[in-house]
Structure 1
Amino acid sequence: MPSPVLSVLDLVPVRSDQTSADAVAASIELARTADRLGFRRYWVAEHHNMPAVAATNPPVLVGLLAGRTSRIRVGSGGVMLPNHAPLVVAEQFALLEAAFPGRIDLGIGRAPGTDPVTSWALRHGAGGVSDEAVNRFPEYVDNVLAMMEPDGVGLALRGRTHVLKATPSAGSVPQIWLLGSSDYSARLAAEKGMPYVFAHHFSGSGTAEALDLYRSTFRPSPELEAPRTFLTVNAAVADSVDEAERLALPQLLQMVALRTGQPLTAQRLVEDAEKDVADGLPESHQSLIDAMRRRWVIGDADGALAEIERLAASYDVDEVMVHPVAGAVAGTDPGSAPARVRTLELLGS
């Protein structure tokens, strides 16, 4: 199997030595690196009210990053549709596609991407991400797709049909993907003939089953004749295996905190993470780290590339989206993330 095409997923992490402005500046540098090295696409996530994640608003970030790059596709990985009115999402991404034609991806997810209180606030107190919004997810997906088409969609209201368009004169539409970490979106994407991505970088289990379900039940559509998917994976790559292991530690501890219900903080610097480990971790936490470590790509360039090729072959994909998780050492310029940049350089050279 030929080497897979590489792409990038970015949560815009915020370290303990950074402001939000610093984190955004570091992500702009990372996107420009991916663009220069020939990566296919660069996606940003949607998470809210998290001390270590500045990716709260994908369309704003997509516009910033697309405007600072020249070739790479830029998109959302993803917009959590139950948080938003479908028309607003359609308008945002139709306008981005108009500004950067042929370079915009819209990845759509069903999860809230936040805690219940923030979900409530996102909808101005109107029930948060209600069961209705989740249950109507397939309808909302259809609405987003139709509103971005040049002819728009007919809205029946008070006995009349009104034409509703995301933008007055669309010349093209973004590439639209369904995202998920369970089999729900796999079934829906197959039914609608849409591209689909399973969140392997986050879940780490059930990937093969979800992809098999998607492929085996796929129905061709006018937009897509055959199943289309790729793999996402966490990666920390450095000039040596030991250095990569060291740089991965802050994100490993961050994920342990998330999965065990500990208070979340800004991402630790490498030295602080090492001190936490030296002070001793509960056995259950170390077991979590070991399990995650086995699913991540951590190593030098040769080892990491070999592992990415193995994963691509194992899951039968021709594209792998890496989430660069390498942390920073004390004294790093706050507006940069050199270890994340180095991960892309070593993979893309």
Structure 2
Amino acid sequence: MKLSVLDLVPVRTGQSTTQALAAMVSLAKTADSLGFERFWLAEHHNMPSVASTNPPVLIAMAAAHTSRIRVGSGGVMLPNHSSLIIAEQFALLEAAHPGRIDLGIGRAPGSDPVITALLGQSGTTTSVDRFPQQIMDTVSIMSPQGTRVRLPSGPDYALHGTPAATNIPAVWLLGSSDYSARLAGEMGLPYVFAHHFAGAGLARALDLYRSTFRASIYSDKPASFLVVNAAVAETAEQARHSALPQLLQFARLRLGRKLEAVPRADDISEAQLADEERVLIDKLLTSWVVDEPVAAWQRIASLSAEHGLDEVMISPSAGSLQADPPDRSPARERTLELLVEQKLRHDRV
């Protein structure tokens, strides 16, 4: 089983964006050295606790500081953007790092209606009804042969994402609904289920995807993996304490409460939680992997086997301490290290 990483570039209390980006690079280098398959970066806007606003910029940073790991978007919210701009950005990334770039595509807004409206002011947002066509447009513009645009009058207009492309990034469709699963199958795209925030519907989505899959230029057979939030430490108690800041962020988000920077683990305790926060956190823990290394690995391996997957993407959700260096996230890196240790032991058996 392959392991990969999703990073939202969290910003914690007392940490600047500059330091959060340095921590992201450190996490990418750790994943690269440990043998992880890919390192993806999300798109979220105007959140006080998340610095992953622009995946192509972050991908360029992470790819420049790593040597072998695939780097990509998890994902680019395509309706927010012009197909031409995304095609140009990812064509350049692929040219700079051949064979290492993934374009993961989603259709969610990635923020609130205000952000969607502001993106629309620049003429970038498109109707989600055009989402399938926008995917095809993006891929065709990135391709070595480019595409041709039919004009109202005169000859067709030749359009290329970059002048002399030799390859295109691997394209994946992200989602957590029947719509995305069916679309990925019908278009023949590899599919990623967002288990880290959906928590339900995985089996149905994968069945839909596999039953509707049609071989295409993207893939000749179904290919999929899921994303899971994970915090792993030497003991289950330590793992739960470390995961509490991110668990609390998720709970507050679902309760519609104002979010701030991610609190540090030693700044909060479960005794301080409101009853409704505690209820939501207990529910979240049923789909998160928060445990000591052996149990955590067994849970991940079980998820993979149960759903016929050969890859699981980890969103490392361990928190930080006051004493941690601001330009690193030691507990998130340790989560990756502990999982790989268990994987290696399992592979040797």
TM range (shorter): over 0.9
Contact 1:22/1:334 (CA < 8 Å) preserved in 2? Answer: yes
Contact 1:236/1:299 (CA < 8 Å) preserved in 2? Answer: yes
The residue identity in structure 1 corresponding to 2:95 is A
Between the aligned partners of 2:35 and 2:146, the Cα distance in structure 1 is 34
Q: Aligned pair 1:279/2:269, yes or no?
A: no
- 1:229-240 to structure 2, matched below 5 A, reads 229-240=224-235
Between the aligned partners of 2:164 and 2:273, the Cα distance in structure 1 is 60
Which runs of at least 4 in structure 1 moved beyond 6 Å after TM superposition? none
Aligned equivalent of 2:319: 327
Aligned equivalent of 1:302: 294
Aligned equivalent of 1:183: 178
- In the TM superposition, residue 273 of structure 1 has moved relative to its aligned partner by 2.4
The residue identity in structure 2 corresponding to 1:17 is G
Between the aligned partners of 2:280 and 2:202, the Cα distance in structure 1 is 19
Structure 1 pair 289/164, CA: closer, same or farther in 2 (3 Å)? same
Between the aligned partners of 1:194 and 1:278, the Cα distance in structure 2 is 46
Aligned equivalent of 2:141: 147
- 1:52-201 to structure 2, matched below 5 A, reads 52-124=49-121, 129=125, 133-159=127-153, 160-201=155-196
The residue identity in structure 1 corresponding to 2:114 is V
How many residues align? The count is: 340
Between the aligned partners of 1:147 and 1:280, the Cα distance in structure 2 is 50
Contact 2:42/2:73 (CA < 8 Å) preserved in 1? Answer: yes
Between the aligned partners of 2:293 and 2:272, the Cα distance in structure 1 is 31
Structure 1 pair 137/280, CA: closer, same or farther in 2 (3 Å)? closer
Between the aligned partners of 1:123 and 1:308, the Cα distance in structure 2 is 40
Contact 1:253/1:273 (CA < 8 Å) preserved in 2? Answer: no
Contact 2:265/2:321 (CA < 8 Å) preserved in 1? Answer: yes
- In the TM superposition, residue 119 of structure 1 has moved relative to its aligned partner by 1.3
Contact 1:177/1:195 (CA < 8 Å) preserved in 2? Answer: yes
Aligned equivalent of 2:25: 28
Provide Cα deviations, 1:227-259, integer angstroms capped at 9, x if missing partner: 000011000001111110100000000000110
SS of structure 2 residue aligned to 1:75: strand
Between the aligned partners of 2:186 and 2:163, the Cα distance in structure 1 is 29
Between the aligned partners of 2:334 and 2:272, the Cα distance in structure 1 is 29
SS of structure 1 residue aligned to 2:48: coil
The residue identity in structure 2 corresponding to 1:139 is Q
Tell me the percent identity. 54
Contact 2:141/2:147 (CA < 8 Å) preserved in 1? Answer: yes
Structure 1 unmatched runs, 5+: none
Contact 1:234/1:325 (CA < 8 Å) preserved in 2? Answer: yes
Q: Tell me which moved more, 255-264 or 216-225.
A: 216-225
Aligned equivalent of 2:205: 210
Between the aligned partners of 1:114 and 1:273, the Cα distance in structure 2 is 27
- In the TM superposition, residue 49 of structure 1 has moved relative to its aligned partner by 0.3
Between the aligned partners of 1:329 and 1:222, the Cα distance in structure 2 is 47
Provide Cα deviations, 1:162-205, integer angstroms capped at 9, x if missing partner: 11110111111100001112111111111111101110011101
Structure 1 pair 103/124, CA: closer, same or farther in 2 (3 Å)? same
Structure 2 unmatched runs, 5+: 342-349
RMSD: 1.1
Contact 2:190/2:218 (CA < 8 Å) preserved in 1? Answer: no
Between the aligned partners of 2:211 and 2:106, the Cα distance in structure 1 is 21
Q: Tell me which moved more, 300-309 or 48-57.
A: 300-309
The residue identity in structure 2 corresponding to 1:6 is L
Contact 1:51/1:265 (CA < 8 Å) preserved in 2? Answer: yes
The residue identity in structure 2 corresponding to 1:256 is A
For residue 290 of structure 1, the aligned residue among 282, 292, 295 is 282
Structure 1 pair 19/308, CA: closer, same or farther in 2 (3 Å)? same
SS of structure 2 residue aligned to 1:157: coil
Aligned equivalent of 2:237: 242
- In the TM superposition, residue 125 of structure 1 has moved relative to its aligned partner by 6.0
Between the aligned partners of 2:210 and 2:165, the Cα distance in structure 1 is 31
Between the aligned partners of 2:295 and 2:271, the Cα distance in structure 1 is 27
Contact 1:233/1:323 (CA < 8 Å) preserved in 2? Answer: yes
